[in-house]
Amino acid sequence: MALRRIQGVPVEGKTVLVRVDYNVPMAEGRIADDGRLRASLQTLQHLIDSGAKIALISHLGRPNGEVVEELRLAPIAARLQELLGREVHQLDDCVGDTVQTAIDAGAAGDVFLLENIRFRREETLNEAGFARQLAELGDLYVDDAFATVHRSHASTVGIADYLPSYAGFLMQREIDALTRVMEAPEKPYVAVIGGKKARSKLGALHDLVSRVDEVLIGGGVAFTFLAAFGIGAGGDELDADLIDEIREIGELAKERGTDIQLPVDAVCAETLAADAETQTFLVDEVPDGWGTFDIGPKTIEQFTKHIGTANTIVWTGPMGAFEVEPFSEGTRGIGEAIASSGAYSVIGGGETGDAVKRFGFEDRVSYISTGGGACLALLRGKSLRALNVLQE
């Protein structure tokens, strides 16, 4: 994928609008994980060193077009200021005369952070007039928010109609890492799919079974699949409305020669709690009233063997409720298998990336994406407008 890259673009004396993804986890008004801020620093430092003035655009949470005090970006500005070692000017809005005046008064190397872009309903509607207002704040646009490229919003798509547009360093790293999987994956190519709900993964599975050699399915997703194939009742995660579609995916996998592996056992408890009494059952012998919160040891062993044969691996979605210690072994075991495999491994962002970091595998996998949904959309072969506007 040939992107217009920010390297070599003359930016001295210009105002550069940079779309970043600072949608970070918050706890009691403080940033719980600043990884997304750190991921943007290379682009920001490059622009500062090149003599540009920077206006940052980001969202936080889902305010649905309303001003939500708890979702203001002041904590983001404070932490970014620490990371950059220079003042970050927090603005009270994202467009308008006051914002324009503040930016115009700045000097080369100044950094401004616009207020939460999703306080404006026009953002998610990709409203053309709003995109033009954003564009009027600067001279060129850089998209460094990979996690948002599957969203056709004013700050990711519409703005590019009015300004020269380029990919930042984080965007480039993401696309370069994923291109290897999209265009020429070394076989065997194994996809590991987990997560809580089957509904969120069906589209991806439908597309991936035509692209990979094997799919290993765990987490809550697996139990709707098991029920669709006549194995077990599906438990609390069962979505009966998906049974027919899952069977279609199974038929497509057979036609394509793609092997689907499902759990054979599960770690269960009557409640999801750190002090819960757990037992391991075969998937078709889980007692009524018991929840299935992790894949079991036989499944870990089975999945590990398949992972060991792979040369390319994509993993998205944990194998269970890994945040609760009695149910962490499945996700930890799969992470260890992937980290030890020697395969080119791409980890989808979100919970999967968090798990890989939590269990200490971060330096033993090939790439951890910053965007779970965006990563999966690309691996499915989807055309994404926010990337299309950056292509040469």
Q: Which two tokens stand for residue 350?
A: 């979100």
Query: Residues with catalytic annotation?
Result: 36, 197, 350, 373
Contact call for residues 235 and 281 (beta carbons, < 8 A): no
Share above pLDDT 90 across residues of the chain, in percent, rounded to a whole number: 80
Q: For residues 217 and 209, what is the distance between their CA atoms, to the nearest angstrom?
A: 12
Please tell me the predicted confidence (pLDDT) of residue 241: 81
Q: Which helix (H) or strand (E) holds 347?
A: strand 344-347
Q: With 80 as the cut, is the pLDDT of residue 321 above it?
A: yes
- Stretch among 114-118, 201-205, 213-217 having the lowest mean pLDDT: 201-205
Please tell me the predicted confidence (pLDDT) of residue 233: 56
Q: With 70 as the cut, is the pLDDT of residue 238 above it?
A: no
Q: For residues 340 and 363, what is the distance between their CA atoms, to the nearest angstrom?
A: 11
Omega prior to 188 cis, within 30 of 0: yes
Mean pLDDT score across all residues of the chain: 94
In the numeric block, the tokens 């404070």 are attached to: 78
133-149 pLDDT per residue, tens = 999 999 999 999 999 99
Q: What is the mean pLDDT of residues 100-116?
A: 98
- H helical segments located in the chain: 35-39, 41-49, 74-84, 97-104, 121-124, 128-135, 169-183, 202-208, 219-228, 243-256, 297-308, 329-339, 351-358, 372-379, 385-388
Q: If pLDDT is split at 50, 70 and 90, which confidence band does 203 have? A: confident
Share above pLDDT 70 across residues of the chain, in percent, rounded to a whole number: 98
326-340 pLDDT per residue, tens = 999 999 999 999 999
Q: If pLDDT is split at 50, 70 and 90, which confidence band does 237 have? A: low
65-91 pLDDT per residue, tens = 999 999 999 999 999 999 999 999 999
Concatenate the DSSP letters of all residues of 147-169 into one string: GGTT---TTTTGGGGTS-EEE-H
Q: With 90 as the cut, is the pLDDT of residue 224 above it?
A: no
Q: What is the mean pLDDT of residues 163-181?
A: 95
Beta-strand relationship, 265-269 and 291-295: antiparallel
In the numeric block, the tokens 């971060």 are attached to: 362
For 15-171, CATH gives: 3.40.50.1260
Q: With 70 as the cut, is the pLDDT of residue 95 above it?
A: yes
Contact call for residues 361 and 339 (beta carbons, < 8 A): yes
Q: What is the mean pLDDT of residues 300-318?
A: 97
Q: For residues 48 and 76, what is the distance between their CA atoms, to the nearest angstrom?
A: 19
User: Where, residue-wise, is CATH 3.40.50.1260 in the chain?
Assistant: 15-171, 185-379
Provide the whole-model pTM.
0.88
Q: What CATH fold (topology level) applies to the domain 185-379?
A: Rossmann fold (3.40.50)
Q: With 70 as the cut, is the pLDDT of residue 255 above it?
A: yes
